[in-house]
Amino acid sequence: MPLIRHPAPTARRKGLSHHMPAPLSTPHRELLRWYRRHGRDLPWRKTRDPYHIALSETMLQQTQVERVIPYYQRFLQHYPDAAALAVADVQDLHRMWKGLGFPSRIERLQRACACVVKQYQGQWPQTPEALQKLPGIGPYTASAIATFAFGQAVAVVDTNIARVYTRRDGLPLPLDRRQIWVHAAHQVHPQQPIDYTNALMDLGAAICTARAPRCEQCPWQQRCLSHGAVEVLEASSNPLRVASARKVYSAKPQRRGLPRIPVVLALVHHQGHYLVAQRPQQLRHGGYWELPGGKREAGESDRQALARELMEETGLDLLSARPFVTVYDEGEEHCIVLSVYRCRVFNPDQAQARASDGIRWVDPQEFLTLDFPPANAAILARFRDYHRLG
């Protein structure tokens, strides 16, 4: 990454505070020192305009950073403020949005901007609680706007930040959404929330990645509870230890006698790409990516369950299914048997997000960069081995 110059720390920027900043803890200093050397130079980090922040956060929800940048800049040229976006023609917005996917995102932002103009006289609310009263603004976006536009010392938790805290502090799995937000709220420094949150995001994106983390380059290596405990084995027949190495996912059951819950997953492929779905935010592991599928009902074969789940979740008709891998996720009271099949469908271009926050077709390399629930670790290892990646 290029060496960049960042603005002065948040608390010392003009007009923000007349008080001396509170002393930073050692972890804060370590991370901010790393960030000033390696942080990403992104256009929305050069502004405190809440509309600009809201636009960037809306675009970034389900799209990679590099792809967002030109769209973000182009949108601001045509719609420089909330008032301009509020009265824009929806079809024009869709045309400008084309290529980013999920156009409902810009429609929601337009409704929020209209509310800001009409009910708030063009002045954006400044707290997460007030921002969430705007139509289409959820908890994450509200916290991001409050932090990056108004310097509010509140938690902002995306998948990168959740992964960093889970590994560094050895949080128990499966991770509870409320737990990670409460945990993150205790970590925010009141004087430098913008720099600190950006640093966390960059650490998760560049160093503490979902696959193959670069622990030797991490500023928190010495205080990370997962450093040296994360072991991911390439052979699909071996156990995999993930996250804080507290739970085993394997290709063979380790304990006998546990009641089994059969689950089928569809690894749908088409022209070198695979279909993935994003779990709804309100569910366990919300925001993570997953394969279409679900619990096999009584009396169903695996193929029948695959066909039903694919239709219910994506609107796709199953053409063929071949076994790919079976993984056993063992808990204290039961064992979930994940049977994964490589599937083909009749109508791949008609996929719909019927039961998720979004669906995407991704190539094998991108597939391995996505955040999946912990129980998918053995599946990902089998996938990597199948494609001879890594």
What amino acid positions are annotated as catalytic residues?
57
**DSSP notation for 21-60:** PPPPPHHHHHHHHHHHHH----GGGG---HHHHHHHHHHH
Ramachandran region of residue 228, left (φ > 0), alpha (ψ -120 to 50) or beta?
A: left
DSSP state of 343: E
Cα angle value 185/189/194 (rounded, 5°):
95
Q: Which residue has the tokens 């592991």?
A: 285
Q: Which residue has the tokens 């193929």?
A: 303
Query: Are residues 356 and 280 in contact, defined by beta-carbon separation less than 8 angstroms?
Result: yes
Return d(Cα 351, Cα 361) in angstroms, integer.
Answer: 10
Query: Are residues 358 and 200 in contact, defined by beta-carbon separation less than 8 angstroms?
Result: no
Return d(Cα 197, Cα 203) in angstroms, integer.
Answer: 10
CA 269 from centroid of its chain's CA atoms: 22
Determine the 3-state secondary structure of 363 from DSSP: coil
From residue 264, give the alpha-carbon distance in Å to each of 326, 348, 382.
Answer: 9, 19, 16
Determine the 3-state secondary structure of 276 from DSSP: strand
The helix (H) or strand (E) run that includes residue 327 is strand 318-330
Reported residue count of the chain is: 390
DSSP state of 175: P
